[in-house]
Every structure is written in structure tokens, then in C-alpha cells.
Structure 1
């Protein structure tokens, strides 16, 4: 007997709503979260949201100065600690776990947010770019979960920040998309296998967010054109989501214990189109790729801040996000090459 698709859809929606109604929310009050990439951008917004809901947090990032500014901006004495380290180094991950437990006495939540996004055409990317993206975006979360597992057993929570790019491979973001597909797969695998340990894993797939991050992204190809397009799209109202709202939705998914959450209406629409009409979506993405800047003359990358233009400097949403989410030191102009 063939079951109508509408009945299957209704049953699926009903089961999802029933699960949410019957599953008690995870109480973050008094819990301790370790947030990677926590010194700026989405990581900083997630730390603020976790604090708002009663958690204590440890921020992990590579640069001590960025961490110090982030800790000061959160203005939560005694509830925020920081640890400098590189998520691609196993020893640094072990140290971050140990420092979190030392500072707060426990570890309940991992937020694997640290990431790298490289922008440019495939012709200008190298195998090293793909390997770097995989190390940061997919393998680092795996290593951190394994390092923290003894503390998470019996009720811990894990968030894997993947991306819309982990469902739909976006042109000129090939290394990023490949690594985010891997991160989404990692989240699914961990969700199934860690359930027996009492650990709940949530994979989130955000679309574009106004975090101010383009200025620190490696840019390849026709660098000024690539950056201008990327920085402009990343700050368009309607297409992009405010970082605070994205953080609120991500933490809500964590609290509900969702297996997967797509963040933002444009991200949901594109991922749904990919699922329902993959051939049409592929054709449209191929067409869109033809409209993007062509390859450049070198495989070398520059940070977005090094190829600012009058148009990108004049974008008020971009400037506001950069300032709010610690993307540049106070007083630094858009064209300077500071960290």
C-alpha cells in the first residue's frame, strides 16, 4: 500500500512537535560551556547568549588580545574565563578542557564554533586550502569532543556549527563547503553514537549572518572584487541574520536537544530546494557561478581587510558588526592589516 506524501509529512511534523512537547528543556543555569572561536563574531554572540541563560563560559581562540577584549565586553566577572590556543593542535584542546574545569569546576557544554572560510574560485584554491578547512572545521570538533567526553557523559551537550554550505555547495566557497559537509556528517555520527553515553549532539546550519567576519577571511582570485561581493552579500538585510538572533536560535536548538537546526529563512529555502529539486538547484548554482569574478593570477590569499574598497567601507551594517563583534581593535581603520 502506498502512503500519500502529505500523510508522511503530517506524521513527521506531528512527531517532531510531540517530541519537543515531551522533552524537557536543558537548563543552562549553572552549567559551564567551552566556546571555540569565542573571541569574536558568532562565537562572541553565542557566549553572550549562554551567559544570558545562566551559564558560565570559557572562550577559546588563538589571540590573547582578542580574548581579553572579548572578556571585557561580556562584562561578567567570575563567569567568563579565557584560554589561548589553536583548535588544530590536540595539546591546546586538551589544555582548554583542563583550564575550563579548573576555572569553573566542571564542563557541561561544548560549542564547536571555530572555523575558517576561504573565498575565491576553485581555480585559485590548492589542496592545502581543503586540508586546512577540514582540520579547522571538521577534525578539530572531533578531537575536542573526544578530549571532553569524560566530563560530558551523563547529560552533556555538544553543538557542531556547520553551515548552509554543509548542505549546499556554494560557488567560490569550495574548501569551506567540503569541510562543512564533513562537519554536518560528524554531527550526525556523534548524535547517534554518543546517545548511549548520555550526550546530546546538535548540528546547526546557519546561513549568512552579520558578524563582521569578512574582513578577516582569506580571499583569493580577483581579490578586491571577490571581497566586495562577499562583504556586501554578508550584510544585506533580509538575506542575512543579525548575529544575536542567530545565537539565540542556536542556543534554543541546544536547549531543545534538536538533532539539526537550519538557522535563517534564506538558508532554509535553499536547503529545502536542494532536497526537493537537486537538479534544478545545481543548474541555478552553475548559472550563478558564471556571474562571479573569474580566476586571479595567483593562489596566494589576502585578508579581506587588505582589499577594502570605498563601497565596503561605506557599508554601515558591516562597520557596526565589525565593531560590535570584536573583528578589529578599537580605532583601526577598515583598510589596515591588523589582526
Structure 2
């Protein structure tokens, strides 16, 4: 006899779900990264560099991909150099560069076991100052580039029973005001991750999508800022480096790699990310109303749609932020001007 769904206690459903997760983690062995070959896009600074350090700590060999050869060289030096850390310069939005990077990984390390799609573009400012081109560029970098690179890597990942890590965002679960192109592209990436997970499982390839909260990566200075640039940047950089909201980049990297090793389909990284996601799921109308209300407190649009880099919109307030400055120094965000070492 079929039991009506309304008669099944919700606690029983929750208990069954928790038990299933626990059993899965008990009987499926963790993915051993020792000796594994890992390609990290956007690996020269910020979160990419923190992820590189975490994979290196777990015994992997690395190939870092980014556009700037000088940044890549500094990143390799910070990680200790040697044969376990190699670099390849290239643009993730160019298919020929992607193919060359994959060929280099095979040449340098004999093949590819883990692909980390981390490279990303972020634009901050009012929707009124965002153009169609802004949305298209975000989609190219944050969604289509990871999709294409993953598909190109499938034959090698299939051969080695590999893994894919997609770095999305809490902004890929809840649209964040003044980050419209970024959120749109990260929503797309989260969906790509779900599709890849389902379709590549039968080929022995595991796909994990991580959705982190704001992190102390030092990267706001590389963001594109529109509207009242100084106010936008001051707000963005302050929230990004506020301890009660943001997460240390190294801790975020550790949790992301943990999720990959466990074989999680999706992981929210950081308490504020999980809180916002569950608020959206449980009370979507209230969450939408609160976000709309909060948007009224943000800087108003301007007549110009011109963008500037965050580092060009620094103010004494942001320049003197010690947490922000520390992250910039340690995660290679200052170019060749700093002498600090990553710890």
C-alpha cells in the first residue's frame, strides 16, 4: 500500500537524507591527491594561488595557467618552484590557448588528473551602468571558458578517472545587487556544474561545484568598477575583507579541496554563503524584498558606463585596511611591487 506523502514525517525524510550522506562518505573512499597532476586556471594570484598551495600540500603536482607570465613566475617562486610547479601563459577564453595548456600538462606531468576552473571576471556597479558587452564578457570568462576547457579535457580525465572543480559563488545561488553580470554568469556556471556532474559520472569523472562566500583574496583591486567608482570600490573592498562576513582565502581553499576529495556534487563554502542560500530557499519572497531594500542604500548610477580597475579607485580608507593589504601581499595581487612571501 502506498503511503500518502503528507503522512511521511518531515523528520524522517531529513533523517534519511542525513543517513544517506553519512553512508556515502563512509563507503566511498576519498580521492587521493598524492602524485596527481592538477591544472589550475587563474592560478597566479588570489584564490587560485591559495588553491595551488593547498593542492601542493596534499602531494599533487601543479600546472598554473594565467595570462601574465611575470605573475606566473612570481607565483611559482612563492610556491617553492621545482618540478612540482609548472606554469603556462594563456587566455582561458581562447580555445587554442586551452588546447596548448592541456598539451603542456601532458608533456610536463604525463597527463591530467584534476582540472580546477578558477579563473574569473568580476564587475561591480549599478545595473544601469552595465552594458550588454559586460554581461557577454562575464559569460565568456566565467561560464563558457570552464565549459569548453572541461569538454576538451574529458578524454584525458576519462582515461585517468579524474576530477573537475568548478569555482562558482554564492552569487551563483542568490543574485547579489551591483554584481549583475557576475551573478548571471555564476548562475550559469552552477548549472553547468550540475549538468556535467550528471553526464560525466558514467565516464568515471567526478565534478564538484563550490559556491564560496566573499573571501579575503586581495582581488578587489583587479575588479572592474562602474558608477561612482570610489564609493563602489570602498564598499566592495570593505565587505570583501570584513572578518565576520568574509572567509580567509586559505581556509576557503582547504574547504574547496576537501569537497573535491569527498566527491561532493556541490558545496557552499562559508557560513554567510550557506545562510543566504537557505534563506533564499526557505523564504524567497522575504529574501528578495530584503535585497531590494538593501539596494536602495548602495551608490546611485552615473551618466558614464566607463569602468576602472579597483586599484585605480583606491581611497585612504581602503588603502589603509590592514586585512586587505595583508591578503594583497600574500596572494600576489600587487605585481612586482611587494617583497612579501606567501605563508
Taking structure 1 as the reference length, what is the TM-score of the superposition? 0.97
Deviation readout 1:244-300 (Å, 9 max, x if unpaired): 000000000000000000000000000010011100000000001011000022111
Question: Does the alignment pair 1:95 with 2:111?
Answer: no
Describe the SS at the equivalent of 1:269: helix
Partner of residue 193 from structure 1, selected from 186, 190, 199: 199
CA RMSD of aligned residues (A): 1.0
For 1:188-215, what per-residue CA distance to the aligned partner results, in whole angstroms no more than 9, with x for missing partners? 0000000111000000000010000000
Partner of 1:233: 239
Matched, 1:62 2:72: no
* Aligned-partner SS, 2:29: coil
Given candidates 164, 173, 176, the residue that maps to 2:179 is 173
* 1:131 pairs with 2:124: no
Offset of residue 328 of structure 1: 1.0
- For structure 2, the 5+ residue unaligned runs are 339-343
The CA distance in 1 between the partners of 2:264 and 2:209, in whole Å, is: 8
| C-alpha distance in structure 2 between counterparts of 1:284 and 1:88, whole Å | 36
Of the three residues 31, 40, 50, the one matched with 2:36 is 31
Secondary structure of the 2:111 match is coil
1:8 aligns with 13
| Aligned equivalent of 1:159 | 165
Q: 1:85·1:93 contact (CA, 8 Å) conserved in 2?
A: yes
Match 1:82 to one of 82, 87, 99: 87
Displacement, 1:238?
1.5
Conserved 8 A contact 1:120-1:226: yes
Query: What is the match of residue 324 of structure 1?
Result: 330
Q: 1:335 corresponds to which residue?
A: none
> Residue 209 of structure 1: which of 212, 215, 219 is its match?
215
In 2, Cα distance between equivalents of 1:250 and 1:184: 15
- Inter-partner Cα distance in structure 2 for 1:76 and 1:90: 27
TM-score, length-scaled by structure 2: 0.96
Cα distance between partner residues in 1 of 2:91 and 2:211: 23
The aligned counterpart of 1:184 is 190
Q: Deviations over 1:86-118 (max 9, x none)?
A: 000001000000001101111100000000010
Show the counterpart of 1:118: 123
Q: Give, in angstroms, the shift of residue 4 of structure 1.
A: 2.0
Could you say which residue in structure 2 is the equivalent of 1:142?
Answer: 147
Distance 1:20 1:280 in 2: 35
The count of aligned residue pairs is: 333
Q: Quick one: which of 270, 280, 285 aligns to 1:264?
A: 270
Structure 1 runs not aligned, ≥5 long? 333-339
C-alpha distance in 2, partners of 1:330/1:134? 30
Q: Does 1:104 align with 2:128?
A: no
Deviation at 1:17, TM superposition (A): 1.3
Report the Cα distance in structure 1 between the residues aligned to 2:48 and 2:95, rounded to whole angstroms. Answer: 20
State the partner residue of 1:254.
260
Distance 1:130 1:8 in 2: 40
The alignment partner of 2:302 has SS state of coil
Which of 18, 23, 26 does residue 21 from structure 1 map onto?
26
Q: What is the aligned partner in structure 2 of residue 337 from structure 1?
A: none
| Higher alpha-carbon deviation: 293-302 or 4-13 | 4-13
SS in structure 2 of the partner of residue 326 of structure 1: coil
Contact 1:323 1:330 in 2 (8 A): no
For 2:254 and 2:81, how far apart are their aligned partners in 1? 18
